[in-house]
Structure 1
């Protein structure tokens, strides 16, 4: 094995992702030292360093098990021989190294991001909610975007639908990371996407500190009091309880607060996903699904009161910038224009279904 070549390739694919992680860790440590706020595991139920590898393993099983079954039948192999054949074909050492770099760099970035987000209102206690609400009103000719959506969509079925969209987004992000690391056989595409999400985390954390806000659902609660009770209602109440406890005893409370509105990373990461599937020429169904989820996410964040209209614009700008910056950082560009590298060729596929996942329509 040529160690120099491996390290050079790793730096090309993952250098920017690791740089984002190290930068966020440095910011986290500085903020912790200056505010005397201790660091916390961002996941209380199941730690992320366990949860994210489990997601990758689950997706790996989805990738491998059907192929083992097909190889057993087609090649008349014993199951264990079929497993060896599939793993050798689909998971050489280079792909294990690729996936490990992606999972670890992204999780370090995520854990640091959650801690920085929690400390942001302690380090900068100002709140810009009134200014952003005024900006929304100015742009919309005196109207509030959430009230407009409530009048257009009503305050019944739309609340339940958009609440479901919000929770779907929460599950979609770690799963999309796992798929980018497991399913892709064009390493440059997977590294591009995972790195772009890391840039989103870094940019979001910095802006949370510079423009601290809580969002309309907290700063203008009466506007959303007429919405029916949904899972989002429970989540919003729990998040506010955590924030109150953190702000009351930041140096002793064993937990994180997760409220910060500008920019909307829900929108930002959906823009990152949508632009990525377009630029790598993913199957048409993936592009349609991404566009649909992006529109529904924008509606959900404003309708439910998580974000101001200005947060949506800021998130979209950050998401687009993250795709461009990650393209520059991973070598997926021609000049200043993002273009997927084609030197990482897909490995042979065993079946028609697998080919359909990677062939543009």
Structure 2
């Protein structure tokens, strides 16, 4: 459906129904996901977990200045090296003014933000009840599978033999921490973008599948805590050497991941009783691979950069003891399957997705 952009004030109403129709499939899927989350939470955790929501919200707010800077820098470079207008400041101001006052963008962003919040809130609420539905027990099996696939070696210790210099471990920690910024940025970009509407909806649907199917259903079926908490949950001392390596690195170079791991354990075992622990599959890897597939829809160069970042996250997830290697393999497979399933559903229900590029 071809839309005519309207820039004058008071012209939002004609845009709402067509935009809702383009989001129809996504709205239906998110509605089902939210209903499942609310239903299971009512049974197993009647008190709505507002603290998790507030934590995610404050983390998001902390990322907003960096997102604004990134967008402004991108538009500046686009102006400087692509458009090259005679009056650069006038063009730049007009470009920003048009972007933030476009009614179509405002309506699209409002719907997108509502759906994004519903997806992440549903995921967080279902993640909390993973150990209630299925107590953590799969770690010994996943650790054994890891060694079987890697010729009897512990992948974490093997990776430290290659990337074990303290400076390198710190770089992997920085990249791992940067993941959350990219995740939030991809969501905000998807909410506000008017370019490539079909790819935008496909990413949204795949995002929901990735977190709902992978981060909730599969994570519950294969409930596990990862190498970092292996000993604390009484599974044995198999990963004590890996944790000792990280502790040794922390004595010479900053490795903030250890603080995050301790904080996550405190939330789980302390008086707050929040569950943020879940190892299989790796949602860091899954979401990064999904962002990579989305990036390829815009630029081959951007896709290749994100491919490299996905490899770094895959290695970092094992190097930093968050995950078994099989967690990352499963996460990548779930992301690819989610992207494929989103495309298949869009072809099955063409009436409720965008049909033409604006």
Q: Which TM-score bucket, shorter chain as reference?
A: 0.7 to 0.9
Number of aligned residues: 327
RMSD between superposed Cα atoms in Å: 3.7
Cα deviations by residue, 1:102-126 (Å, 9 ceiling, x for unpaired): 1110111101111211211122214
Contact 2:197 / 2:354 at 8 angstroms: preserved in 1?
no
Task: Give the CA deviation at 1:135.
Answer: 0.9
Secondary structure of the 1:212 match is coil
TM-score by length of 2: 0.78
Aligned to 2:173: 163
Residues in 1 aligned to 2:101 and 2:12: alpha-carbon distance in whole angstroms: 19
Cα deviations by residue, 1:318-351 (Å, 9 ceiling, x for unpaired): 10012112223445999xxxxx988213xxxxxx
Residues in 1 aligned to 2:88 and 2:229: alpha-carbon distance in whole angstroms: 61
1:96 aligns with 2:106: yes
Residues in 2 aligned to 1:48 and 1:327: alpha-carbon distance in whole angstroms: 33
Secondary structure of the 1:226 match is helix
Q: 1:211 aligns with which of 222, 243, 261?
A: 222
Residues in 1 aligned to 2:89 and 2:152: alpha-carbon distance in whole angstroms: 71
Task: Give the CA deviation at 1:65.
Answer: 8.5
Cα deviations by residue, 1:30-74 (Å, 9 ceiling, x for unpaired): 332222452223244573698399579937973899699999974
CA 1:209/1:52 → structure 2, altered by over 3 Å: closer, same or farther? farther
Cα deviations by residue, 1:129-155 (Å, 9 ceiling, x for unpaired): 001111111112211111211122225
Aligned to 2:314: 298
1:328 aligns with 2:344: yes
Aligned to 1:243: 268
Aligned to 2:282: 264
Contact 1:274 / 1:291 at 8 angstroms: preserved in 2?
yes
**Which is further off, 236-245 or 185-194?**
185-194
Residues in 2 aligned to 1:117 and 1:308: alpha-carbon distance in whole angstroms: 19
Matches within 5 A, 1:113-262: 113-203=123-213, 204-219=215-230, 220-222=238-240, 223-227=242-246, 228-229=249-250, 230-245=255-270, 254=272, 256-262=274-280
Secondary structure of the 1:225 match is helix
Aligned to 1:337: none
Task: Give the CA deviation at 1:165.
Answer: 1.0
CA 1:309/1:76 → structure 2, altered by over 3 Å: closer, same or farther? closer
Contact 1:193 / 1:276 at 8 angstroms: preserved in 2?
yes
Aligned to 1:248: none
Task: Give the CA deviation at 1:263.
Answer: 0.7
Contact 1:53 / 1:103 at 8 angstroms: preserved in 2?
no
Q: Which stretches in structure 1 are left out of the alignment for 5+ residues? A: 246-252, 335-339, 346-361
Matches within 5 A, 1:272-287: 272-278=290-296, 280=297, 282-287=298-303
Residues in 1 aligned to 2:106 and 2:74: alpha-carbon distance in whole angstroms: 14
Q: Which stretches in structure 2 are left out of the alignment for 5+ residues? A: 1-10, 231-237
CA 1:93/1:53 → structure 2, altered by over 3 Å: closer, same or farther? farther
TM-score by length of 1: 0.77
